[in-house]
Amino acid sequence: MKENILSFLAEIRPECDFENSMNFIEEGLLDSFDIVSLVTSLDEEFKISIEGTDIIPENFANLDSIERLLLKNGAKR
């Protein structure tokens, strides 16, 4: 699942190094348009619909938190 997430991130911002980032949001790797694209891609890929109220900084800080978010919203590993 993490590889999937990473490949979407690489598609959206290929110039950023997500693997070595401690916090995607605090380090400014993702802006609002990136989050919109990422959520759309993740929704399609995992056939889920991430709740708007779950789109908060804590859930997009790193690969682990995004994975937890997907599982919480019903994504299958």
* Cα 41 from Cα 8, distance rounded (Å): 7
Pick one of 2, 23, 44, 56: the residue that binds other proteins (CB under 8 A): 56
Shortest gap between Cβ of 22 and other proteins (angstroms)? Answer: 17
Task: Please list every residue from 58 through 77 that binds other proteins, using CB under 8 A.
Answer: none
49: Cβ contacts below 8 Å, ≥ 6 apart = 43, 73
3 binds other proteins (CB under 8 A): no
Tokens of 27: 């380090």
Which residues in this chain contact other proteins in the complex, by CB under 8 A?
13-15, 25, 30-33, 35-36, 51-53, 55-57
